[in-house]
Amino acid sequence: MGNLAIKVDNIWKRYEIGNKARPRSLRDMFGRLYAKPNNLPLDIGEAQINPEESFWALSDISFEVKHGEVVGLVGPNGAGKSTLLKVLSRIVRPSSGEARIWGRVGSLLEIGTGFHPELSGHENIFLNGAVIGMSRGEVVAKYDEIVEFSGVERFLHMPVKHYSSGMYIRLAFSVAVNLDPDVLFLDEVLTVGDTEFQRKSHEKLTGLINSGRTVVIVSHSATAIKTLCNRAIMLEGGRMVADGNIADVYREYNEYTLQAMHRNAGEAVWSNADTKPAKTHESELPQTPESELPQALEDGISQESHVLTAESPPQDVQAVNEAPKSDPVATAPTPHKAKDAHMRAVRIIQDGQTKKTVDIDRDFFVELEYEVLQEIKLNVGIQLLDETGIPFLSSPNYVSACRDEGEFHEQPYTPGIYTSRCRIPGNFLNDGIFSVNGILMIDNKFYFQTMSCADFNVFDTGVMRAEYKGPWSGVSIRPILGWGTSRVS
């Protein structure tokens, strides 16, 4: 097929659920016939699983991979990624459809895949070589390289069933990558082993990729996929939902993850007794560029015309729980009863739109929308929190603590609806998932604070990764700073 290495055409895979699934082989049939009673499923009456129930692990999967492409399969657990690799590796037969692969195939789908537990490491090296079609002479030529890379020389003549999981995976990975496959399938093996073995594995894979091998990788490590692959395919619920360049597919995957795990992705909106703000989705927001926004709205505060009636008094410091998880842009319950002011919404804004995902190298805004019910002296602030909920940044709009707040500094607020925006500069936060606390302060005292109400993802566009491709783990900010180097001796 010319330049094609893999062609997948309408692959479907169905699994049966229940204790009466049809046996697929003579061994299955006799095993079930002579099974001990203690090994049979318990009779749970009406709650027993329907023996005729089934589910589709893969549904109508079709794609092509060219020689030399490195493709990452991404998606949540249960999406069908591992099942697809098992079909491509000829471990599992599809229910319908076909997959064609041109060239010698190597695969490492889980610890010890293809290893016989009773055979030694030495014997399993030759067994794996024979399985992928190598001659004994070809395996002998690669033998020393395999052994040296694995680091298990002392234990080569021990049955692999006695290996630790680390020894198992080191030898299995070494066999998979050193037996010169034309097409290589890897499933969640890039984060196993110690740091030194991960470094060696990454260098070896990079060498294979640079030599023109075709590689398909399943990994939940965004760093591994972004640094090794030039294309990504996203699966969800057994279906292929995205296929394209890494940046576009990972943006979609990150938004899916954010929506699945966090309740208020990009925006939290609260209702109250007098008015209920309309839910605003990303596609419905105005397309006004940031450069065209009035300066008072960009860096300060704007006021709208209508006024709401007062509610009952607040507590000294009030907080609102997270909004319901079912709504993509959630409308939370009334945060508190207030006679002075209350929060209406917290939003993440980039390019004039509410965003669930913002680019790491471009400015964005945290917007607070709140209502003042009677004339007061008011200030607002924000906290940014990491994925574990720990605050790492605070910023109020006090004169001494911010820039260019505008006309409302030190001025009393009259009744009305206001928005305040805090600009977060590009190339400041690390990539990852964050959330926002919105704060109202009256007469320099905390009056109201939300609790992790607006969640967003910072997407690494690669602008700061021209050299180093690895992760910057354990930190929430990663700014571009000035550096200078001089020779002192």
CATH code: domain of residue 403: 2.70.50.60
Share of the chain above pLDDT 70, in %: 74
| Claim: this prediction has a pTM higher than 0.85 | no
**Closest residue by Cα to residue 113 from 66, 151, 160, 59:** 160
Give the CATH number for residue 106: 3.40.50.300
Q: Do 206 and 335 belong to one domain? A: no
- Last residue within a domain, chosen from 193, 224, 258: 258
Average pLDDT, rounded, for the chain: 77
Contact 148, 125 (CB under 8 A): no
The helix-helix angle for 165-178 and 195-210 (nearest 10°) equals 10
d(CA 45, CA 373): 61
Q: What is the pLDDT of residue 401?
A: 83
Residue 132 lies in a domain: yes
User: What is the per-residue pLDDT for 360?
Assistant: 92
Q: Could you give the CA distance from residue 317 to residue 247 in angstroms, rounded to a whole number?
A: 42
Q: Cα 418 vs. chain centroid, distance in angstroms?
A: 35
Q: Which of 19-23, 72-76, 113-117, 366-370 has the lowest mean pLDDT?
A: 19-23
Write down which residue in 238, 258, 278 finishes a domain. 258
Q: Answer yes or no: are the C-beta atoms of 347 and 267 closer than 8 Å.
A: yes
* Residue 468 pLDDT exceeds 90: no
Whether 236 is in a domain gets the answer yes
Cα(277)–Cα(169) distance, integer angstroms = 55
421 shares a domain with 310: yes
pLDDT value at residue 291: 43
Q: Please give the average per-residue pLDDT across 304-313, as a whole number.
A: 29
Residues 6+ apart with CB under 8 A from 96: 10, 11, 12
Residue 249 has pLDDT above 50, yes or no: yes
Task: For the chain, give the percent of residues with pLDDT over 90.
Answer: 29
Q: Of 289, 275, 398, 288, whose CA–CA distance to 345 is shortest?
A: 275
Helix (H) / strand (E) element for 379: namely: strand 378-385
Do 58 and 196 fall into the same domain? Answer: yes
Q: Are 349 and 382 in contact (CB under 8 A)?
A: no
Residue of higher predicted confidence among 131 and 235: 235
Strand partners, 419: 302, 369
Do 188 and 49 share a structural domain? yes
Domain extent, residue 389, equals 263-459
Looking at 241, 258, 275, the residue that finishes a domain is 258
Whose structure tokens read 């893969």? 58
Q: How much is the pLDDT for 58?
A: 93
Of residues 464 and 92, more confidence is placed in: 92
> 216 and 108 in one domain?
yes
CB atoms under 10 Å from CB of 294, counted, come to 10
Structural domain contains residue 103 = yes
Candidate ranges 18-22, 176-180, 327-331; pick with highest mean pLDDT? 176-180
Residues 366 and 387 in one domain: yes
Side chain identity, residue 270? W
Q: Residue 350 corresponds to which amino acid?
A: Q
Q: Would you state the pLDDT for residue 24?
A: 62
Residues 230 and 313 in one domain: no
Q: How many domains does the chain have?
A: 2
Q: Which residues contact 240 (CB under 8 A, 6 or more apart)?
A: 60, 61, 62, 63, 233, 234
Q: Which amino acid is at 431?
A: D
Rounded Cα distance, 184 and 196, in Å: 22
What does the pLDDT read at residue 29? 64
Specify whether 250 is located in the same domain as 268: no
Look at residue 94 in the predicted model and tell me its pLDDT: 92
- On whether the CB atoms of residues 356 and 255 are closer than 8 A, the answer is yes
The pLDDT of residue 333 is above 60: no
Do 293 and 240 belong to one domain?
no
Tell me if 383 sits within 8 A of 393, measured CB to CB: yes
Confidence class of residue 57 from pLDDT cuts 50, 70 and 90?
very high
Q: What would you measure as the largest C-alpha separation in the chain, in angstroms?
A: 88
Q: Write down the pLDDT at residue 226.
A: 78
If asked whether residues 341 and 235 sit together in one domain, one would say no
Q: Answer yes or no: is 204 within a domain.
A: yes
Q: Per-residue pLDDT for 310 more than 50? A: no
| Half-sphere exposure (Cβ direction) of 434: Cα atoms closer than 13 Å | 27
What's at 102, amino acid-wise? Answer: W
For residues 57 and 81, give the distance between their C-alpha atoms in angstroms, rounded to a whole number: 9
Domain presence at residue 278: yes
* Residue 378 within any structural domain of the chain: yes
Do residue 333 and residue 254 come from a single domain? no
286 pLDDT exceeds 60? no
Strands 454-459 and 357-359: parallel
Q: Is the pLDDT of residue 425 over 70?
A: yes
3-state helix, strand, coil in the chain (%, to 5): 25, 30, 45
Task: Give the chain's length.
Answer: 489
Burial class of residue 219, CB neighbours in 10 A (0-12, 13-18, 19+): buried
Sorted by sequence, the CB contacts under 8 Å of residue 39 that are 6+ apart come out as none
Residue 382: C-alpha distances to residues 114, 194, 367, 407, 434 (Å)? 54, 40, 9, 20, 13
- Residue 130 has phi, psi (to 5 degrees) of -65, -40
pLDDT in tens, 115-172: 888 999 999 888 888 876 778 888 899 899 889 888 888 899 999 889 887 888 888 8
Question: Binning pLDDT at 50, 70 and 90, where does residue 43 land?
Answer: very low
| Predicted local confidence at residue 62, as pLDDT | 94
The pLDDT of 184-189, averaged and rounded, is 82
Whether 246 and 377 share a structural domain: no
- 483 assigned to some structural domain: no
Quote the tokens at residue 57.
Answer: 């692990």
Residue 386 has pLDDT above 60, yes or no: yes
**What b/e sequence results for 93-119 when a residue is b if at least 16 CB atoms lie within 10 Å of its CB, and e otherwise?**
ebeebebebbeebbbbbebbbbbeeee
Note the pLDDT of residue 487: 93
Most confident of 97-101, 115-119, 134-138, 198-202: 97-101
Give the residue with greater pLDDT, 292 vs 371: 371
